[in-house]
Homo-oligomer: A and B are copies of this chain.
């Protein structure tokens, strides 16, 4: 598992990155975009701490935090953050969707996509590009072994996850 070389990019100039809170009568919506540059074709990143930091900044004590990867060839999953298990997860992704079989999306006769990433699309579609979690006492509610993981299926690339915290 390579997970160390993550470059975090949060340009101040980007409108949503500044963190925008909208609300009336106690209810508020706080939005932010987080960016990463991934380094491998398939890569799992633990983004729990970054999300919790945004929840704390939002001022929301009870409500929901919604995460949405803005890319079809990626996913957001919940699982235990353990090297051995992450290795098993990568093997599972490799086997449940075979990279090397024939795909029309990879065939120049049918598609102008040159990345040959049909498998990445299938994996993103299967695992899901969003997560919605509860906020309780100004923190994300997570079980002891639950971490929020960004799954890159077509790196290396620049990736964005939209984070929205809403509630009171």
User: Interface on A for B, CB 8 Å cutoff?
Assistant: 16, 22-29, 31, 61-64, 66, 68-72, 77-80, 82-85, 87-89, 92, 96-97, 103-105, 107, 110-111, 113, 118, 121-122, 124-134, 136, 141-146, 160, 162, 164, 166-168
Chain B proximity of A4: nearest CB distance (Å): 18
Majority secondary structure of chain A interface residues (helix, strand, loop or mixed): mixed
Q: Copy number in this complex?
A: 3
Given contact pairs A26-B27, A31-B136, A130-B132, a sample of 20 additional A-B residue pairs in the complex whose CB atoms are under 8 Å apart = A24-B26, A24-B27, A28-B168, A29-B62, A64-B66, A64-B164, A68-B134, A70-B144, A71-B146, A72-B79, A78-B125, A79-B124, A79-B125, A84-B105, A84-B110, A84-B113, A85-B121, A89-B122, A92-B97, A129-B146
Known contacts A72-B143, A80-B121, A166 near B26 by CB under 8 Å: no
The reply to whether B25 and A129 contact each other, CB–CB distance below 8 Å, is no
Known contacts A31-B136, A141-B162, A22 near B168 by CB under 8 Å: yes
Which listed residue, B26, B121, B127, B133, touches A25 by the CB 8 Å rule?
B26
Please indicate the chain B residues that have their CB under 8 angstroms from the CB of A78 in the complex: 72, 124-125, 128-130
Q: How far is the CA of A110 from the CA of B90 in the complex (A)?
A: 15
The reply to whether A167 and B29 contact each other, CB–CB distance below 8 Å, is yes
The reply to whether B26 and A164 contact each other, CB–CB distance below 8 Å, is no
Chain B proximity of A20: nearest CB distance (Å): 8
